[in-house]
Amino acid sequence: MAVVRYIAGRLVFLIPQIIGIVLVSFLLIKAVPGDPATLMLGPMATPHTIAELRAQLGLDKPLPVQFLIYVDKLAHGNLGTSWQTTQPVLDDLRTRFPATLELVTYGLLLALAIGIPLGVASALGKRGPLAKLGGFYGLVAGALPDFWLALILIYIFYSLLGWVASPIGRIDVTVTPPHMITGFYTLDSILTGNWAALRSSVHHLILPVLTLGLVNAGPILKMTQATMERMLEADFSLYGRLCGLPEKLVIRRAFRNALPSVITIVSVLYGFLIGGAVLIEIVFSWGGAGQYAVQGVLNSDFNPVLGFVIFSALFSLVVYLIVDLVYLAIDPRIRH
Amino acid sequence: MRAVPLTPLGRPATLAGRHPVGARAKFATRYFLRLLRTRPSYAVGYAIVAVVVLVAIAAPLISPYSPITADPTVYLQGPSLAHPFGTDNTGMDVLSRVIYAPRIDLTIAVIGTALSAIIGTFLGAWVGYFQGTSGIRNITSVTTMRAADVLQAFPVFVFAIALVAVFGQSTTTIIFAIAFVNIPIYLRLMRSQVLSIRQMRYVEAAFVSGMPDRWIVRDHIVPNAIGPVLAQLSVNIGWSILLTAGLSFVGAGVRAPTPEWGSMIATGFPNVMTGQWWPSAFPGLALAVTVYGFALIGTSIEFMADPRRRRTLAAAEMSA
């Protein structure tokens, strides 16, 4: 029951945070110059039609009223319409957000698969060549521009070697996307038994996931290495060795204690990458949520940007909540 | 290295050791050179940044062509003797543009980061020092932290683009956008440092002796908290260069034809798939190497600022 109370307490905090985020993004977006009505109607529009459209969109009302109208619509699940796609933002995000999530999730899984083993190996190897390699990799991965790495990988694996599919979109143009259940093309293909779609979507996922994985393995590696080193020198490890525990067991215990820091950095990366994978989405024409928001900002299309910010903020907060629950599960000290 | 007699405190007992200021400066430079000798990777970092800064300053003297003159007859030529980095799709020489680009990139990154560091450290010191006290100072402290929370919940990139869109696309607004998204980092860093330092005995002693708060912050807290901030500064400059490049890649940063590494990668992007890799590859390489140099400098500052590691270096050097 304490767990339920804890969750309830965190959820209560969620509402004022969301309102704060919505307020700031609303003010920011409204400050962007560019009149949506003029942009929607084009250069041939008469002042009369522009004024009519503005009234229809509610753009002539004072700002606080506009904000309250927006919040009211939000409470009813209406995120407005994007004038670029002429679809409701909620529908747009329902296809685009899972696209970004799929990309980011697989990318982070790859980053974990690279970063954690290398980090642990570097920590065990102290001053040896592996530690130096780990340090070097961490620094270089943080210095590489991810969009540039994506282009280099495209050049090597597509233009030169022809090993991967054309880097445009999530799936081959000739293949129909699977029936949407989760929004993840890979999962949906498996769930509906659509093997052509599965092959095609995996083929298209290879390069962007590789880019994200290589770049984000850096911070994970650094954090794992630093924390493992600290844990291996901590009192409990010393005690274990003095008691005659085999080194393998000591390492395993140390790793278990290093996990919270690693989980923290994964959660931070997760929240960051929802918006941070934008450049990779643009390079690969992924059709993801970040790309959607960027197009919105550059074209004075407010609703997608607001919708994206709210989605991504909600997502970050949910991730942090889940992470805290995971802490509760793996760290017995917190429970008491 | 010949053995230098040391006083009990580890200072060189040379003639300069008798003058406080002179001894400090001499000691600092000798320590710095010692550090570079024992850790050559740090020397590489300083060398890289020095080279980039020199290239930016000396750009008109060393660049073979003008960075903004396009010669359509030579467009998309591969690397050759005449054009070591090739030409891009408008005929501009890639090498010259790569040489001129650090002028913009470094200016934006350094000024933006410096601005955010100054504002963030000051706010962070204030918030950290007055947290937990009663009254209006505590309220402002808590409000600032909650505001920083809200700001940090924003997707950084989208926020930066929105800021540039609000204030118009120019170098000044990019600097401003970069400064703004970086302030919470310094705010949090300084705050956590100050929170731990204000527990120290010497701060308590200063307080008890009647020192005004602002003097305590200025003379005791800030100098002791500044180490990690300096390390973060260097890493942050590198990251700001990446952010500027990203903004220009999307089209919300520096305008063409001003040479800038990110926008160069963007103009070369459509050609990569057809096999012309050089307009995008070389700027990105220069970008990566520069950011790497800054990251190395940051690691070295982190090392120097931590007194425990400094002493281990001195011990290792003396036994060598």
In order, the DSSP letters of B224-255 are: HHHHHHHHHHHHHHHHHHHHHHHHHHHTSSSP
In this prediction, residues A279-299 reach a mean pLDDT of 86
Distance of CA B66 to the CA centre of its chain: 29
The most confident of the ranges A60-74, A97-111, A308-322, B304-318 is A97-111
Q: Evaluate whether A275 touches B153 at the Cβ level (below 8 Å).
A: no
pLDDT (tens digit per residue) in A180-227: 788 788 888 888 888 888 888 888 889 999 999 999 998 899 888 888
Partner residue facing A140 (CB), from B158, B274, B292: B292
What predicted TM-score, i.e. pTM, was given to this entire model?
A: 0.81
Which chain A residues have a beta carbon less than 8 Å from that of B246?
A: 145, 147, 279
pLDDT of A19: 79
pLDDT (tens digit per residue) in B115-170: 999 999 888 888 887 776 667 777 777 778 777 877 777 778 878 887 877 777 78
Q: Return the higher-pLDDT residue of A320 and B268.
A: B268
CB contact under 8 A, A148 and B161: no
Domains (range + CATH), chain B: 13-319 (1.10.3720.10)
Q: Residue B17: pLDDT band by 50, 70, 90 thresholds?
A: very low
In this prediction, residues A67-95 reach a mean pLDDT of 81
Q: Evaluate whether A319 touches A267 at the Cβ level (below 8 Å).
A: yes
In order, the DSSP letters of A271-326 are: HHHHHHTHHHHHHTT---HHHHHHHHHHTT-HHHHHHHHHHHHHHHHHHHHHHHHH
Please tell me whether the interface predicted TM-score (ipTM) of this complex is above 0.90.
Answer: no
pLDDT of A301: 76
In this prediction, residues A71-89 reach a mean pLDDT of 80
In this prediction, residues A139-152 reach a mean pLDDT of 89
Quote the tokens at residue A76: 């009813």
pLDDT of A110: 95
Quote the tokens at residue A241: 């060795």
**Residue B13 C-alpha, separation from nearest chain A C-alpha, in angstroms:** 33
Which chain B residues have a beta carbon less than 8 Å from that of A283?
A: 269
User: Which residue type, as a one-letter code, is found at position B264?
Assistant: M
Q: Return d(Cα B194, Cα A239) in angstroms, integer.
A: 34
A307 pLDDT more than 50: yes
In this prediction, residues A44-65 reach a mean pLDDT of 77
B319 pLDDT more than 50: no
Q: Evaluate whether B261 touches B105 at the Cβ level (below 8 Å).
A: yes
**Residue A285 C-alpha, separation from nearest chain B C-alpha, in angstroms:** 12
pLDDT (tens digit per residue) in B178-192: 898 889 888 888 888
Closest residue on chain B to A33 (Cα): B166
pLDDT of A217: 92
**Residue B170 C-alpha, separation from nearest chain A C-alpha, in angstroms:** 15
**Residue A284 C-alpha, separation from nearest chain B C-alpha, in angstroms:** 11
The percentage of chain B sitting over the pLDDT mark of 70, rounded to a whole number, equals 87
Partner residue facing B162 (CB), from A32, A151, A167: A32
pLDDT of A1: 64
Q: Evaluate whether B180 touches B116 at the Cβ level (below 8 Å).
A: yes
Q: Return the higher-pLDDT residue of B161 and B287.
A: B287
Closest residue on chain B to A280 (Cα): B246
pLDDT of A125: 79
Of A250-254, B26-30, B244-248, the poorest mean pLDDT is in B26-30
pLDDT of B290: 93
**Residue B181 C-alpha, separation from nearest chain A C-alpha, in angstroms:** 13
Which chain A residues have a beta carbon less than 8 Å from that of B156?
A: 272, 275-276
Q: Return d(Cα B231, Cα B117) in angstroms, integer.
A: 11
CB contact under 8 A, B288 and A21: no
Q: Return d(Cα B62, Cα B84) in angstroms, integer.
A: 13
pLDDT of B292: 92
pLDDT of B3: 60
Contacts of A258 (CB under 8 A, 6+ apart): A224, A227, A228, A230, A231
A95 pLDDT more than 80: yes
A306 pLDDT more than 50: yes
Q: Return the higher-pLDDT residue of A170 and A30.
A: A170
pLDDT of B313: 61
pLDDT of B320: 43
pLDDT of B113: 93
- Tokens 């000044």 sit at which residue? B172
CB contact under 8 A, A290 and B265: no
Which chain B residues have a beta carbon less than 8 Å from that of A270?
A: none
pLDDT of A134: 85
Angle, CA of A87, A39 and B165, to the nearest 5°? 95
Quote the tokens at residue B233: 């500064």
Size of interface A-B (CB pairs under 8 A): 148
Quote the tokens at residue B20: 């406080």
Which chain A residues have a beta carbon less than 8 Å from that of B161?
A: 294, 297-298
Contacts of A62 (CB under 8 A, 6+ apart): none
Q: Return d(Cα B215, Cα B211) in angstroms, integer.
A: 7
In this prediction, residues A153-165 reach a mean pLDDT of 84
